[in-house]
């Protein structure tokens, strides 16, 4: 009996009712297979099966807990959709932190493994920057980590042209004005200095668009390289560019407690081992 039969047919007499099932477009979109329109195209191309039978027409309603759904013969994991995942990625330069890119550049979300649910970047690192970025499907934690009022610190290693003066360093520590608003004070440490280039460690508690590049340009120093080395208490720990690992339960607990107004969700991730991107 086709899956798109009316609710009065025998196909709906066993298991969940149609009200308890979900449209296949919504389910596969949430699982990160494709957009809803993309799923419709996959149906038209005959590339989706449910319990071994091809789906050739929509609407199609499925049971996420019981039905076996395959795309191009590969099982789509739809159970436990609500389990939260937390990846720490060392983003290389040239990789974007958006869900899609019209220019076809590599995306951070493509460097972590498919987990049957859509993950997204927590905040942004611009395409010319590298370093640590979190990817998760936990919307509450994302909001907590990115909202300025929580004051979650992010630390960067920044190479700039020239040598900063004592007065310029003092201005950064007091808070520089940008777009008519005074930024929160920055913690700054000079790691290496020379007449031509200096290496700085800068810690911010708010993350406005290209903030470090813009404030240093205002002080007359062009940023040559920018790498994020820590998000709150979470650090690189030898993670190579392009590699990722799952957060440990301890790191997640520390993240939720590191801001001015701690996040108190009790959900914990599984302990993760370091993996190479693409594995």
Domains, in order of start, for the chain: 10-75 (3.10.290.10), 86-148+234-257 (3.30.70.580), 153-231 (3.30.70.1560)
Whether residue 2 is predicted with pLDDT greater than 70 in this model: the reply is no
- Tens digits of per-residue pLDDT, 167-223? 999 988 988 887 777 878 889 999 998 889 999 999 998 767 788 999 899 899 999
- Tens digits of per-residue pLDDT, 203-214? 998 767 788 999
Q: Which of 126, 138, 161, 179 is catalytic?
A: 126
The token duo for 212 is: 């470090």
Tokens 């419709």 belong to 40
For residue 211, which phi and psi values (nearest 5 degrees)?
-60, -50
Residue length of the chain: 279
Other C-beta atoms lying within 10 Å of the C-beta of residue 116: 17
> Mean pLDDT in the chain?
82
Whether residue 81 is predicted with pLDDT greater than 60 in this model: the reply is no
User: Whole-angstrom Cα distance, residue 263 to residue 213?
Assistant: 30
What is the pLDDT confidence band of residue 58, given thresholds at 50, 70 and 90? confident
Other C-beta atoms lying within 10 Å of the C-beta of residue 207: 18
Predicted local distance difference test score (pLDDT) of residue 67? 83
- Tens digits of per-residue pLDDT, 102-126? 999 999 999 998 876 778 899 889 9
| Lowest pLDDT segment from 12-21, 68-77, 91-100 | 12-21
- Tens digits of per-residue pLDDT, 139-150? 888 888 988 888
Whether residue 5 is predicted with pLDDT greater than 80 in this model: the reply is no
For residue 141, which phi and psi values (nearest 5 degrees)?
-65, -35
Whether residue 262 is predicted with pLDDT greater than 80 in this model: the reply is no
- Give Cβ neighbours of residue 267 (< 8 Å, ≥ 6 apart): 84, 138
What is the pLDDT confidence band of residue 12, given thresholds at 50, 70 and 90? very low
Based on the number of CB atoms within 10 Å of its own CB, is 25 exposed (0-12), middle (13-18) or buried (19 or more)?
buried
- Tens digits of per-residue pLDDT, 82-106? 578 999 999 999 999 998 899 999 9
The token duo for 269 is: 């991730």
What is the pLDDT confidence band of residue 265, given thresholds at 50, 70 and 90? low
The bridge status of strand 223-231 relative to strand 130-136 is: parallel
- 223: Cα within 13 Å, side-chain hemisphere: 22
Under 8 Å between Cβ of 156 and 226: yes
Query: Known catalytic residue: 101?
Result: no
Predicted local distance difference test score (pLDDT) of residue 82? 54
Nearest one of 20, 207, 38 to 118, comparing CA atoms: 38
The token duo for 40 is: 């419709």
The token duo for 245 is: 């690992």
Predicted local distance difference test score (pLDDT) of residue 20? 57
Buried b (16+ CB within 10 A) or exposed e, 166-188: eebbebbeeebeeeeeebeebeb
Tokens 């990846």 belong to 87
Whether residue 9 is predicted with pLDDT greater than 80 in this model: the reply is no
The bridge status of strand 48-50 relative to strand 69-71 is: antiparallel
């Amino acid at each position: 009996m086709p899956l798109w039969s009316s609710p009065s047919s025998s196909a709906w007499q066993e298991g969940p009712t149609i009200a308890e099932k979900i449209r296949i477009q919504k389910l596969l979109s949430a699982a990160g297979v494709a957009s809803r329109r993309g799923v419709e195209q996959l149906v038209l191309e005959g590339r989706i099966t449910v319990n071994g039978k091809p789906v050739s027409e929509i609407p199609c309603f499925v049971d996420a807990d019981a039905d076996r759904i395959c795309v191009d013969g590969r099982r789509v994991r739809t159970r436990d959709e609500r389990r939260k995942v937390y990846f720490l990625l060392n983003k290389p330069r040239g990789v974007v932190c958006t869900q899609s890119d019209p220019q076809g550049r590599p995306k951070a979300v493509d460097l972590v493994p498919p987990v049957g649910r859509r993950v997204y970047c927590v905040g942004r690192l611009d395409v010319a920057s590298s370093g640590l970025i979190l990817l998760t499907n936990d919307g509450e934690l994302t909001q907590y980590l990115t909202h300025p009022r929580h004051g979650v610190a992010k630390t960067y290693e920044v190479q700039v042209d020239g040598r900063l003066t004592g007065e310029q360093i003092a201005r950064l520590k007091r808070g520089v004005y940008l777009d008519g608003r005074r930024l929160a004070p920055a913690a700054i440490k000079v790691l290496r200095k020379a007449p031509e280039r200096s290496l700085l460690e800068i810690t911010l508690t708010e993350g406005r668009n290209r903030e470090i590049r813009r404030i240093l340009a205002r002080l007359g120093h062009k940023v040559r390289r920018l790498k994020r080395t820590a998000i709150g208490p979470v650090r690189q720990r030898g993670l190579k560019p392009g590699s990722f690992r799952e957060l440990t339960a301890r790191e997640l607990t520390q993240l939720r407690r590191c801001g001015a107004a701690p996040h108190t969700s009790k959900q914990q991730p599984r302990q993760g081992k370091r993996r190479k991107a693409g594995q």
